[in-house]
């Protein structure tokens, strides 16, 4: 197990990543081989389960792209299964308190730091046990633990969330956050932007890495300039959708149908 992604971000090298929503191994393989640092396999909103997440991880194994997984919720069972499957990091959605952040961190780590169940001698993450002791030793430092800030409740205690020991990254969800603040679908509304700025400051003040996604008025470059360490700017389903729509439009014009 390697921790180049986290180490690189800690050393000041921002990371670029993409979302896996289609759960197509071929699509993931193509995108990972393009040169992204990491992929966020979305088991919250995507259709995949643990088995299909493993297929994505296998597809990108030779690319050098780090597999991260967004779990469906702050659930020890899901976190354990996906880490055992080989995820190098976990993103937990909708973390609303320091206690919830502590629970997420604990679920990612073996005792005595956490409560993760011990199956390292047999799971994929340790090479099916070939060096499970090494995996256990390294995982405490190598795993990337991410909590999402997506609600007004989370904003009210973001300082305490960011202060949780071994929480590596605060990831801001601007669309859910805009809905929680009463501005559904307006992630660039001034009130939402002000709230996001406060969350960014809190994360950096506590030494947390900072992650997010672009919005219509705040592209990836603006996020990196604001100190973001990870931006998940691309999504397999959007690239396919937009590419197909652009191609069809061009073909319709060429065929004289527009």
Task: Kindly list the distances between the CA atom of residue 135 and the CA atoms of 118, 123, 131, in Å, as whole numbers in the listed order.
Answer: 11, 10, 6
Please report the beta strands in the chain, taking only residues with DSSP state E, as ranges in sequence order.
15-20, 38-42, 66-70, 89-92, 144-149, 169-172, 209-212, 230-235
Catalytic residue selected from 10, 45, 152, 194: 45
Phi/psi region, residue 159 (left: phi>0; alpha: psi -120 to 50; beta: rest), is alpha
| Distance between CA atoms of residues 140 and 138, nearest Å | 6
| Distance between CA atoms of residues 126 and 135, nearest Å | 6
Whether the Cβ atoms of residue 209 and residue 169 lie closer than 8 Å to each other: yes
| Distance between CA atoms of residues 230 and 143, nearest Å | 15
User: Is 109 assigned a catalytic role?
Assistant: no
| Distance between CA atoms of residues 54 and 85, nearest Å | 6
Task: Kindly list the distances between the CA atom of residue 119 and the CA atoms of 52, 68, 163, 167, in Å, as whole numbers in the listed order.
Answer: 20, 20, 29, 23
**Looking at the annotation, which residues are catalytic?**
45
């Amino acid at each position: 197990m390697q921790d180049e992604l986290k180490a690189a971000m800690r050393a000041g090298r921002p990371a670029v990543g993409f979302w896996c929503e289609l759960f197509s191994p071929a699509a993931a393989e193509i995108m990972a081989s393009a040169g992204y640092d990491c992929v966020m396999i979305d088991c919250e909103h995507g259709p995949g389960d643990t088995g299909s997440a493993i297929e994505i991880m296998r597809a990108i194994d030779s690319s050098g792209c780090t597999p991260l997984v967004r779990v469906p919720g702050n659930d020890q069972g899901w976190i354990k299964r996906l880490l055992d499957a080989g995820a190098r990091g976990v993103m937990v959605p909708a973390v609303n308190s320091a206690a919830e952040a502590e629970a997420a961190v604990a679920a990612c780590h073996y005792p005595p730091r956490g409560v993760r169940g011990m199956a390292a001698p047999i799971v994929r993450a340790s090479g099916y046990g070939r060096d499970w002791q090494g995996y256990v030793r390294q995982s405490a430092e190598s795993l990337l633990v991410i909590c999402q800030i997506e609600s007004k409740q989370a904003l009210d205690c973001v300082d305490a969330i960011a202060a949780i020991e071994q929480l590596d990254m605060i990831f801001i969800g601007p669309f859910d956050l805009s809905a929680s603040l009463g501005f559904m679908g307006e992630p660039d509304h001034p009130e939402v932007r002000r709230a996001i700025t406060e969350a960014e400051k809190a994360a950096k003040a506590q030494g947390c890495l900072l992650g997010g996604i672009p919005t219509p008025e705040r592209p990836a470059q603006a996020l990196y300039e604001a100190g973001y360490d990870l931006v998940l700017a691309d999504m397999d389903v959007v690239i396919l959708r937009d590419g197909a729509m652009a191609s069809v439009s061009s073909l319709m014009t060429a065929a004289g149908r527009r």
